[in-house]
Every structure is written in structure tokens, then in C-alpha cells.
């Protein structure tokens, strides 16, 4: 099959995989499809941790069809060990499929490269690396956590053009428009935890829930505080998701993230305030930036990102792969901070 057709079908598998984003942690999001004679005969994706993996879902969807002339496309190297479910390689080999096309290789040390070897030993033709970068990017949080034990950290903020937040009495705290806020809500739906500082809790009394998106689970809500002196009546402690709230008192941000990783929290969205975001940048803990800039200037003392700051321009956080997207009247800025050529 021509390479361009493999890529076209892998994009369909990627679309399937995205259906599981935010639902499968601490597992990776994976999609699969079966193709025969140029036609897609079945698709599947990993729906939740503990449920069948994408490959098994896809094989089940094919029913009693003969698969000897079919090709299986899967966005991530199939698992080859027994966990909460049996190895997917066993089901693939038993199906009679003769060709498997893989997107990204699994970075999990328990799996990396094993599936390819097992499938090839069973006489299958195996092709890997089709849209590998896109397939790997889909699971960037899982890939970091499974190798390092540390969650993938996204710094998110909505700010004025001069990097400020308003705190005026009786004023809406929103600087950005509805479309930018909807985009930010989508971020919440994809992560395992949302983290804020104590002052944000005191000033804003946020809910940190997901609104306007159905069928997603509520992320953990994490508050870091020096004193632990927090308002007992805050939404985070009294609403129906109160059991999804964690408080860390007197702990460094690095140690908090390490403990969250131990709890199998693979991704953390830091929503502020400026002091916590500043700590994250000062300690080089941020993996990805997602800022929303409103088309206004407010001035004032409340900065969006505080901290000690960089010693000079060269040592600041330079964004790799920056993306600038207009969202309604606002500007979305995202990228991957790099503090030196070696990071």
C-alpha cells in the first residue's frame, strides 16, 4: 500500500484515539482501525483505564469477518505484557492479520520494541513510524510520566497585553472572551489535575470544574499553600467534587508534582495565580505554555507570572514550536519552554 494511503488511514486512527483523551489516564490514548481492500471495516479506541485497549475494541468491532487480508493500523505500539488486560499482541496474532502499521513506538520500558519483535516472529509484516510525531504528541503527558514518574505540566493563564490580571472590586475576573474561555475549558477536560495557589483560592473562590463539555471526568483540584489557612467554605471543599480536592501545605512545588506523579496523575494544568506560575517557571518545571492574551492593557501591580524571573534574556524561557492563533478577539499563544540548548 502506498505510504500516502498509510498516512491517510493513520489519521483516521488518530481521530479515534483523540476520543479517549482525558478519559484513559494513566494509560495512553490509542486508536485503531482495520482496513481491507482499501475499505475501513472496523475502528476502535481505548475508552477508559481497565477497559479493552484500542486494538481489541477494533478486532471485536470486526465481528466474524475474516481478517487474513486485512491490515491493522494502530497509533501506538501494542502492549505486549499483562496488566489490567491481557497483551494486545496475543489478540492480534490470534486474529490472523498479516500486516500491522504502527504510528509511534511505546516509550514505556516494559513495552518498547517488544510488540514489533513478537508480531514479526509470528510472521507478520510490521511497519512503524507512520505519522510518528503526531501520534507521540497525542500522548506527550503519558510519555513523560511513564519514563520519569513526573507529571506533564501546562502553564495556563489569561492576561492583558501587558501581562497583568485585574483584581478590581465588583468586576468580572474574565479578561478574555467566551471563545478563549471555551478553549481553556477544553484544556481542563484533557488533564488529570488543575493546580492553583492559596491566594487564588481566597480571592476568586474558583470551582475548577468542567462546564459545557459532556462525558468527561472531573480532574483533581490541587491547592498549594504555605500556611494551610484556607477558607473552609470554599467551593473546592464543599461542592459535589470535594473528594477530588487535594491540599499541600508548606511543600515546594517540585515536591508536590513528584507526589502527584506517585498518585498516577500524569498531567497538571497550573492555572495560577502569578506567584505559583512564577515558581514553576523559576524552577523550570513547565513543559508547555498556553496563554490567552486579551486585546487590552490594564497596568497595575498584579502580574500574570511572578517569581524571581530570569537573570537575563538568554536564560529566559524561550518557546519552541510556538503557535499563535486568534480566538475571537483574543490571541492564543502556546509552545514548549526551553531554558537552554540542552533542555
Question: Which residues are paired to 153 by β-bridges?
Answer: 268
Q: How would residue 134 be classed by pLDDT, with cut points 50, 70 and 90?
A: very high
Average pLDDT (216-227) is 95
pLDDT at 237 over 80: yes
Q: Which three-class secondary structure string do you get for 252-282? A: CHHHHHHHHHHCCCCEEEEEECHHHHHHHHH
The confidence score (pLDDT) of residue 341 equals 47
The whole-number average pLDDT for the span 87-116 is 91
DSSP class per residue in 39-89: EEEEEEE--STTSPPHHHHHHHHTTT---TT-EEEEEEPPP-S-SSS--HH
Is pTM, for the whole model, over 0.85?
yes
Spatial distance between the Cα atoms of 77 and 156, rounded to a whole number of angstroms: 31
Neighbours of 195 (CB within 10 A): 31
The residue with cell 494502530 is 74
At residue 111, the pLDDT reads 79
Please write the tens of the pLDDT for every residue from 37-72. 889 999 999 999 889 999 999 999 999 888 989 999
- pLDDT bracket for residue 167 (50, 70, 90): low
Active-site option among 35, 55, 190, 271: 55
Map grid coordinates 480536592 to a residue.
245
178 by DSSP, 3-state: which? helix
Predicted confidence at residue 132, as pLDDT, reads 97
Cα–Cα distance for residue pair 318/338, rounded to 1 Å: 5
The predicted structure's pLDDT at residue 171: 58
Return the residue matching grid coordinates 477508559. Answer: 48
Q: Provide mean pLDDT across the span 260-283.
A: 95
Model confidence pLDDT, tens digit, residues 301-313:
788 888 888 888 8
CA torsion, points 292, 294, 299, 300, in degrees to nearest 10?
-60
* Strand 220-225, strand 245-249: pairing: parallel
Higher pLDDT, 112 or 241: 241
Cα separation, 107 vs 142, in Å, equals 9
55 is catalytic: yes
CA distance 63 to 41: 10
Name the residue among 63, 141, 136, 70 with its Cα closest to residue 102.
Answer: 136
Q: Are 197 and 273 in contact (CB under 8 A)?
A: yes
Strand partners, 222: 195, 246
The reported pLDDT for the residue numbered 173 is 66
Q: What is the pLDDT of residue 3?
A: 63
Q: How many CB atoms within 10 Å of residue 35?
A: 23
* pLDDT class of 342 with cuts at 50, 70, 90: very low
- Euclidean distance between CA atoms 155 and 289, whole angstroms: 5
Residue 22: alpha-carbon gap to chain centroid:
7
Q: For residue 61, which phi and psi values (nearest 5 degrees)?
A: -65, -25
* Average pLDDT of every residue of the chain: 92
Mean pLDDT calculated for residue range 223-241: 95
Name the residue among 200, 260, 250, 245 with its Cα closest to residue 225.
250
Query: What is the per-residue pLDDT for 208?
Result: 96
Amino acid at each position: 500500500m502506498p505510504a500516502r494511503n498509510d498516512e491517510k488511514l493513520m489519521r483516521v486512527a488518530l481521530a479515534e484515539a483523540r476520543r479517549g483523551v482525558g478519559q484513559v489516564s494513566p494509560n495512553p490514548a490509542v486508536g485503531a482501525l482495520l482496513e481491507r481492500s482499501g475499505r475501513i471495516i472496523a475502528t476502535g479506541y481505548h475508552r477508559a483505564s481497565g477497559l479493552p485497549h484500542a486494538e481489541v475494541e477494533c478486532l471485536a468491532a470486526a465481528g466474524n469477518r475474516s481478517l487474513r487480508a486485512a491490515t491493522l493500523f494502530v497509533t501506538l505500539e501494542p502492549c505486549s505484557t499483562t496488566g489490567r488486560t491481557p497483551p494486545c499482541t496475543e489478540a492480534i496474532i490470534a486474529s490472523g492479520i498479516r500486516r500491522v502499521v504502527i504510528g509511534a513506538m511505546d516509550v514505556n520500558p516494559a513495552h518498547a520494541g517488544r510488540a514489533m519483535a513478537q508480531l514479526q516472529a509470528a510472521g507478520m509484516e510490521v511497519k512503524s513510524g507512520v505519522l510518528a510525531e503526531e501520534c507521540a504528541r497525542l500522548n506527550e503527558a503519558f510519555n513523560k510520566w511513564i519514563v520519569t514518574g513526573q507529571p506533564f505540566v501546562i502553564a495556563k493563564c489569561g492576561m492583558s497585553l501587558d501581562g497583568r490580571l485585574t483584581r478590581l472590586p465588583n468586576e468580572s475576573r474574565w479578561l478574555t472572551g467566551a471563545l478563549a474561555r471555551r478553549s481553556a475549558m477544553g484544556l481542563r477536560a484533557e488533564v488529570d489535575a488543575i493546580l492553583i495557589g492559596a491566594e487564588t483560592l481566597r480571592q476568586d473562590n474558583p470551582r475548577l470544574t468542567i462546564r459545557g463539555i459532556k462525558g468527561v471526568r472531573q480532574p483533581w483540584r490541587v491547592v498549594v499553600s504555605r500556611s494551610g489557612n484556607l477558607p473552609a467554605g470554599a467551593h473546592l471543599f464543599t461542592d459535589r467534587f470535594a473528594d477530588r480536592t487535594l491540599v499541600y501545605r508548606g511543600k515546594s512545588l517540585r515536591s508536590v508534582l513528584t507526589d502527584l506523579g506517585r498518585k498516577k496523575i500524569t498531567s497538571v494544568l497550573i492555572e495560577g495565580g502569578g506567584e505559583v506560575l512564577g515558581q514553576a517557571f523559576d524552577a523550570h518545571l513547565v513543559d508547555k505554555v498556553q496563554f490567552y492574551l486579551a486585546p487590552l492593557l490594564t497596568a497595575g501591580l498584579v502580574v500574570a507570572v511572578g517569581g524571581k524571573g530570569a537573570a537575563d534574556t538568554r536564560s529566559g524561557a524561550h518557546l519552541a514550536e510556538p503557535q499563535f492563533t486568534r480566538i475571537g478577539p483574543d490571541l492564543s499563544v502556546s509552545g514548549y519552554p526551553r531554558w537552554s540548548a540542552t533542555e
